[in-house]
Amino acid sequence: MRKSSSIVFAGILTAFIVLLSTAQEVIDRIAARVENDIILLSQMRALERYQQLVNGKSESDAQTLDRLIDQWIVRNEADTALFPRPSDADITRGVERVEKSFSSPEEYEERRKQTGLSAADVRSLVAAQMYLSNYLDSRFRPSAQVNAKEIDDFYEKAVVPRARARGQAPPSLEAAHDYIQEALVQRSINERADRWLNESRARVRVEKLLNQGEK
């Protein structure tokens, strides 16, 4: 009798493993091949859930896949350069910035649970984003020069009109100087990074396998 029960149990366990493996194949099927690596559908879904958390909406599947391909390019170069990973303390501060972008801790927790992300998921995604953005900043900031005229123009064409549109007195140029300078530097970094990625995509072998009607 025990032998019969063991056989039945073994059969049930085998069936469960087969079903679990099938489910994992469905969830984690390959969305794209990039050189000798792969991008999984589950990676796309994780990024889309993170976008929903921080932006309130996610990009289309096609846009998300392109973003992950770009991230592969940046990460591959950063890893090759042995670029340092963010520290635990930096990651914690990054997670705290995400949390503080909500009106209350309760709102953040509710949104996080709605997206299906665990606290560990958020921390992992924040760490990955910080690694990539830190590398791009390190690579392009030295060449992102801003002159006084650009700062003056930004103040007159962006800062002053925005303050007046809100019915507020605009800050002085001196008070806004550092903010404006950093905004212009970030814009320059983004533009340089975009040009570099456009050039890099042409050199990378990519095979997209995602069905167009996936989402």
Q: Is 79 within the bounds of a domain?
A: yes
Q: Is 149 within the bounds of a domain?
A: no
Query: What residues make up the domain containing 102?
Result: 2-140+193-208
- Residues whose CB falls within 8 Å of the CB of residue 195, separated by 6 or more in sequence, listed in order: none
% residues pLDDT > 90 (the chain): 84
CATH number at residue 17: 1.10.4030.10
- The 10s digit of each residue's pLDDT in 134-187 is 999 999 999 999 999 999 999 999 999 999 999 999 999 999 999 999 999 999
Q: Is the pLDDT of residue 43 over 80?
A: yes
Q: Is 9 within the bounds of a domain?
A: yes
DSSP string, the chain: -HHHHHHHHHHHHHHHHHHHHHHHHHHT-EEEEETTEEEEHHHHHHHHHHHHHHHSS---HHHHHHHHHHHHHHHHHHHHTTPPPPPHHHHHHHHHHHHHTSSSHHHHHHHHHHHT--HHHHHHHHHHHHHHHHHHHHHHGGG----HHHHHHHIIIIIHHHHHHTT-PPPPHHHHHHHHHHHHHHHHHHHHHHHHHHHHHTTS-EEE---TT--
Q: Is the pLDDT of residue 103 over 80?
A: yes
Q: Output the average pLDDT for the chain.
A: 89
Q: Is 60 within the bounds of a domain?
A: yes
When pLDDT is cut at 50, 70 and 90, the band that residue 214 belongs to is low
Domain count, the chain: 1
Question: pTM for the complete prediction?
Answer: 0.80
Q: Is 215 within the bounds of a domain?
A: no
